[in-house]
Amino acid sequence: MKVVILKDTLTPKLEGVMAQLQYPRALLQAIGLRAVAFARDAFTDPSKRPTPWAAKKDGEPATLRYRGALQQSLRLVAADNNSATIGSDRPYAAIHQLGGKTKPHIIKAKDAAALYFRVGAQSYYAKQVKHPGSLIPARPYFPLHPDGRLQPEFQAEVESMIHKHVGLGR
Protein backbone atom coordinates (compact mmCIF):
# COMPACT_ATOMS: atom_id res chain seq x y z
CA MET A 1 0.00 0.00 0.00
CA LYS A 2 1.25 3.47 -0.88
CA VAL A 3 -0.11 6.85 0.11
CA VAL A 4 1.05 9.91 -1.79
CA ILE A 5 1.08 13.38 -0.25
CA LEU A 6 1.02 15.81 -3.16
CA LYS A 7 1.80 19.48 -3.06
CA ASP A 8 -1.86 20.12 -3.94
CA THR A 9 -2.94 18.18 -0.83
CA LEU A 10 -1.99 21.34 1.04
CA THR A 11 -4.13 24.44 1.40
CA PRO A 12 -4.05 26.77 -1.63
CA LYS A 13 -2.07 29.36 0.37
CA LEU A 14 0.62 26.83 1.27
CA GLU A 15 0.60 25.42 -2.24
CA GLY A 16 1.53 28.93 -3.41
CA VAL A 17 4.43 29.06 -0.95
CA MET A 18 5.59 25.62 -2.12
CA ALA A 19 5.40 26.75 -5.77
CA GLN A 20 7.95 29.47 -5.00
CA LEU A 21 10.51 26.93 -3.81
CA GLN A 22 13.01 26.00 -6.49
CA TYR A 23 13.76 22.53 -5.07
CA PRO A 24 11.04 21.42 -2.63
CA ARG A 25 12.23 17.77 -2.54
CA ALA A 26 13.99 18.12 0.82
CA LEU A 27 10.91 19.70 2.39
CA LEU A 28 8.58 17.06 0.93
CA GLN A 29 10.95 14.34 2.16
CA ALA A 30 10.83 15.83 5.67
CA ILE A 31 7.01 16.00 5.48
CA GLY A 32 6.92 12.35 4.36
CA LEU A 33 9.16 11.28 7.24
CA ARG A 34 6.94 13.19 9.68
CA ALA A 35 3.86 11.49 8.16
CA VAL A 36 5.48 8.09 8.81
CA ALA A 37 6.21 9.02 12.44
CA PHE A 38 2.67 10.38 12.82
CA ALA A 39 1.20 7.14 11.38
CA ARG A 40 3.33 4.99 13.69
CA ASP A 41 2.13 7.06 16.65
CA ALA A 42 -1.51 6.42 15.59
CA PHE A 43 -1.15 2.80 16.72
CA THR A 44 -0.85 3.90 20.36
CA ASP A 45 -2.32 7.43 20.35
CA PRO A 46 -5.95 7.65 19.14
CA SER A 47 -5.66 11.44 18.69
CA LYS A 48 -3.29 10.82 15.75
CA ARG A 49 -5.95 8.88 13.79
CA PRO A 50 -8.04 10.62 11.13
CA THR A 51 -11.13 8.71 12.35
CA PRO A 52 -11.78 6.52 15.40
CA TRP A 53 -11.07 2.80 14.99
CA ALA A 54 -13.90 0.29 15.24
CA ALA A 55 -13.62 -2.08 18.21
CA LYS A 56 -12.74 -5.73 17.68
CA LYS A 57 -15.57 -8.30 17.51
CA ASP A 58 -15.23 -9.03 21.23
CA GLY A 59 -15.68 -5.33 22.06
CA GLU A 60 -12.04 -4.76 23.00
CA PRO A 61 -10.32 -1.71 21.49
CA ALA A 62 -8.52 -2.45 18.23
CA THR A 63 -4.73 -2.02 18.32
CA LEU A 64 -3.59 -3.52 14.97
CA ARG A 65 -0.57 -4.73 16.94
CA TYR A 66 -0.01 -8.45 17.10
CA ARG A 67 3.76 -8.39 16.72
CA GLY A 68 4.08 -4.75 15.62
CA ALA A 69 5.08 -5.66 12.05
CA LEU A 70 2.57 -3.33 10.35
CA GLN A 71 3.50 -0.37 12.53
CA GLN A 72 7.23 -0.94 11.96
CA SER A 73 6.80 -1.48 8.21
CA LEU A 74 5.63 2.08 7.58
CA ARG A 75 8.26 4.05 5.68
CA LEU A 76 9.04 6.83 3.24
CA VAL A 77 9.00 5.13 -0.15
CA ALA A 78 10.00 8.08 -2.35
CA ALA A 79 10.16 11.86 -2.50
CA ASP A 80 10.60 14.24 -5.40
CA ASN A 81 9.83 17.90 -6.17
CA ASN A 82 6.08 17.23 -6.36
CA SER A 83 5.27 14.55 -3.79
CA ALA A 84 6.28 12.31 -0.92
CA THR A 85 5.14 8.70 -0.99
CA ILE A 86 4.74 6.78 2.25
CA GLY A 87 3.70 3.16 2.49
CA SER A 88 4.08 -0.36 3.80
CA ASP A 89 5.20 -3.62 2.21
CA ARG A 90 2.77 -5.64 4.35
CA PRO A 91 0.05 -7.27 2.19
CA TYR A 92 -2.62 -6.48 4.81
CA ALA A 93 -1.72 -2.78 5.17
CA ALA A 94 -4.34 -1.57 2.68
CA ILE A 95 -7.25 -3.53 4.13
CA HIS A 96 -6.57 -2.15 7.60
CA GLN A 97 -6.25 1.43 6.29
CA LEU A 98 -9.25 1.29 3.93
CA GLY A 99 -11.36 -1.63 5.17
CA GLY A 100 -12.75 -4.38 2.95
CA LYS A 101 -13.65 -8.05 2.73
CA THR A 102 -11.18 -10.89 2.49
CA LYS A 103 -11.87 -13.72 0.06
CA PRO A 104 -13.02 -17.14 1.28
CA HIS A 105 -10.00 -19.42 1.64
CA ILE A 106 -8.73 -22.69 3.03
CA ILE A 107 -6.63 -22.69 6.20
CA LYS A 108 -4.36 -25.74 6.46
CA ALA A 109 -2.26 -26.97 9.36
CA LYS A 110 1.39 -26.06 8.71
CA ASP A 111 3.44 -26.76 11.80
CA ALA A 112 1.28 -29.51 13.32
CA ALA A 113 -0.76 -32.49 12.22
CA ALA A 114 -4.02 -30.63 12.80
CA LEU A 115 -5.56 -27.27 13.63
CA TYR A 116 -7.12 -26.82 17.06
CA PHE A 117 -9.91 -24.37 17.78
CA ARG A 118 -12.79 -23.86 20.17
CA VAL A 119 -16.35 -22.82 19.51
CA GLY A 120 -18.00 -22.11 22.84
CA ALA A 121 -17.26 -25.03 25.16
CA GLN A 122 -16.62 -27.45 22.26
CA SER A 123 -13.07 -28.23 21.00
CA TYR A 124 -12.30 -29.27 17.41
CA TYR A 125 -9.35 -30.62 15.44
CA ALA A 126 -9.09 -30.47 11.66
CA LYS A 127 -6.40 -30.76 9.00
CA GLN A 128 -7.99 -27.83 7.19
CA VAL A 129 -11.00 -25.52 7.46
CA LYS A 130 -12.91 -23.39 4.97
CA HIS A 131 -12.76 -19.78 6.12
CA PRO A 132 -15.71 -17.78 4.72
CA GLY A 133 -13.75 -14.52 4.53
CA SER A 134 -13.83 -11.60 6.92
CA LEU A 135 -15.30 -8.11 6.81
CA ILE A 136 -12.52 -5.82 8.02
CA PRO A 137 -13.57 -2.30 9.08
CA ALA A 138 -11.35 0.62 8.08
CA ARG A 139 -8.89 1.53 10.83
CA PRO A 140 -6.87 4.30 9.19
CA TYR A 141 -3.44 5.03 10.62
CA PHE A 142 -2.01 7.28 7.88
CA PRO A 143 -2.86 10.94 8.66
CA LEU A 144 -5.24 11.30 5.73
CA HIS A 145 -9.02 11.29 5.58
CA PRO A 146 -10.63 9.15 2.85
CA ASP A 147 -11.30 12.31 0.81
CA GLY A 148 -7.59 13.18 0.82
CA ARG A 149 -7.64 15.91 3.48
CA LEU A 150 -4.84 15.78 5.98
CA GLN A 151 -5.68 14.99 9.60
CA PRO A 152 -5.93 18.47 11.29
CA GLU A 153 -3.06 18.02 13.76
CA PHE A 154 -0.80 16.74 10.97
CA GLN A 155 -1.92 19.60 8.68
CA ALA A 156 -0.83 22.07 11.39
CA GLU A 157 2.58 20.37 11.65
CA VAL A 158 3.00 20.47 7.87
CA GLU A 159 2.11 24.16 7.78
CA SER A 160 4.66 24.83 10.51
CA MET A 161 7.35 22.85 8.66
CA ILE A 162 6.70 24.81 5.45
CA HIS A 163 6.81 28.16 7.22
CA LYS A 164 10.07 27.28 8.98
CA HIS A 165 11.57 26.00 5.73
CA VAL A 166 10.84 29.23 3.85
CA GLY A 167 11.89 31.40 6.82
CA LEU A 168 8.46 32.66 7.81
CA GLY A 169 8.80 31.49 11.43
CA ARG A 170 5.98 29.76 13.35
Residue 1 has pLDDT above 70, yes or no: no
CB 155 within 8 A of CB 38: no
* Letter string b/e over residues 3-20, b meaning 16 or more CB atoms within 10 A of that residue's CB: bbbebebbeeebeebbee
Residue 92 has pLDDT above 70, yes or no: yes
The confidence score (pLDDT) of residue 72 equals 97
The confidence score (pLDDT) of residue 130 equals 94
The confidence score (pLDDT) of residue 163 equals 83
pLDDT band at 146, cuts 50/70/90? confident
Residue 148 has pLDDT above 70, yes or no: yes
CB 86 within 8 A of CB 93: no
Query: Range with the lowest mean pLDDT among 12-16, 49-53, 123-127?
Result: 12-16
Average pLDDT over the chain, rounded to an integer: 88
Residue 23 has pLDDT above 70, yes or no: yes
Which residues have a Cβ under 8 Å from the Cβ of 98 and sit 6 or more positions away?
138, 140, 146
pLDDT band at 52, cuts 50/70/90? very high
Per-residue pLDDT averaged across 82-98, rounded?
93
Per-residue pLDDT averaged across 143-161, rounded?
89
